[in-house]
Amino acid sequence: MQLSDRSISGIFHALKGISIMPLREKPRLSTPTIAVLSLLLAFLAPVSLCLAETSNNGWKMIKVGGRDYVSIQSVKSFYNFTKLTRTGNSVVLENKKVEMKLKVGGNECLMNNVKFVFSNSVVASGNGIYISRMDLAKLIDPVLRPNFINNAGDFRTVIIDAGHGGKDPGATNPIGTEANYNIKMALRLKKLLVAKGFKVKMIRESDRFYSLQERVNIANTVKVNAIFVSLHHNSGGRSARGIETFTLSPPGVSHYGSALKASDAHKRAGNQHDSANIALATALHGSVLRRLGNNTLDRGIKRARFSVLSGVRHPAVLFEGGFMSHSYEAKLIGNESYQAAVAAGMVDAIVRYRFAVGRAPVSATKP
C-alpha cells in the first residue's frame, strides 16, 4: 500500500489508524456512500437524504499470508450497511441502496448485481470474515465513495482508442475483424459524446496501424483532464461469451491471469488514477450491462497491466464488447442495435461518472 496515494483519502487514513479528523469526528457518511454507488451503477436515482452519523469503532484487522485484511464488520459500520447476513460461505451486506454479495474463499464481489473481481480472496478467521485491505482501499472505497477521489478532475474530453487496425486485424471470424468492429464502435461513441457536449480525441479514425506505445503517446499529448476508453472485442473458447471491463492493476496486484511477480510492485503512470480507474470502470461496465440486458453475460470488472492502461496518464479503462469466437455473439457484435446499445451505455456511464466524481453535468450546447 502506498502511503503517498492520496486519492483514497478517508478510508486509507482510517485503515492506517492515523488520526485524521473526519473519522475522529464521527464522519457523516451521508449522501455520498449510498447515493453515489447508485449513480455509478445507474440502477437508482440519486437521493439527497442524510443518513444518521456513525461512530468510528476502529478497523479490525488481521494478517493473512503477509497481507492486511479488514473485518467485514468494520466495513459494515464504516459504509453504513444496516444488515449483514451469513449463510454458509455466502455473505450479504445491505442497506437501502446497495447490496454487496461475497463468498468466503471466492474472489468475486457483486455490488448491485454488477460483478467485480477482487485481487485477493475473501477469508474466514475465527467467527469473522475478512477482505483484503487492497480490495477495500482500491476497489470498494472508490466505488462507494467516488466523490472522495481527489484527483479525478473535471473533464470534458474523452479519448477513444479503437483497438488494433491496419496490419493488425485483432480477433477475426468468418464475418469480420475486430479492428473493424472496434472502429465502428468508436465512431458511434464519438457521435453520441459530441452530441452531449464532450470533446473527443480519437486515437485512430481509419484502418491504420498504431503501436501500443504510439497510442499511449497520443493519449498523453492531451494535456487537459480527460478519460481514456479503449475498445476491443474478445476471442476465446467456443463457449466463452459476455462483456468484461479491465482497469489497471494497482501496485502489488498481478496482471490478469498471471501469478504475482516482483515487477508487479512497481507503480505505473496509470496508477496515479487507481481510484478513478475503478470508479470509471464501474460506471461503464454497469451501464453497458444495463443497456444490453439479456443479450450479454457479465464477466466482471478485472485488473490487468495492459500497455495502454499502464502508460496513459488519464483515468482509463479497456472494454471487451463480446466474443467474436462465440457463434451467437459474433452475430450480435455485427448487429447495429447491439452496437448502438453498447455505445449508449458508455455515454450514460461517462455522464454519470462525471457527475459522481462531483462535477456539474456537461452542457449540451457548449462543446
- What does the binding site for Zn ion look like in residue numbers (CB under 5 A)? 163, 170, 232
> Which three cell numbers mark 250?
494497482
Q: What is the DSSP string of 207-240?
A: S----HHHHHHHHHT--SSEEEEEEEEE--STT-
Cβ proximity to Zn ion, 152 vs 333, nearer residue: 333
Give the span between the Cα atoms of 280 and 120, in whole angstroms: 21
Min CB(172)–Zn ion separation in Å: 11
Min CB(162)–Zn ion separation in Å: 10
Min CB(32)–Zn ion separation in Å: 35
Residue nearest to Zn ion (CB): 232
Name the helix (H) or strand (E) containing 300: strand 298-304
Cβ proximity to Zn ion, 188 vs 233, nearer residue: 233
Cβ proximity to Zn ion, 270 vs 322, nearer residue: 322
Cβ proximity to Zn ion, 170 vs 322, nearer residue: 170
- Cα first-last separation, the chain: 39
Measured in whole angstroms, how far is the alpha carbon of residue 314 from the centre of its chain?
14
Cβ proximity to Zn ion, 163 vs 300, nearer residue: 163
Of residues 233, 236, 266, 238, the one with CA closest to residue 251: 266
Min CB(126)–Zn ion separation in Å: 45
Min CB(209)–Zn ion separation in Å: 13
Q: What is the DSSP string of 59-70?
A: --EEEETTEEEE
> Which three cell numbers mark 347?
455515454
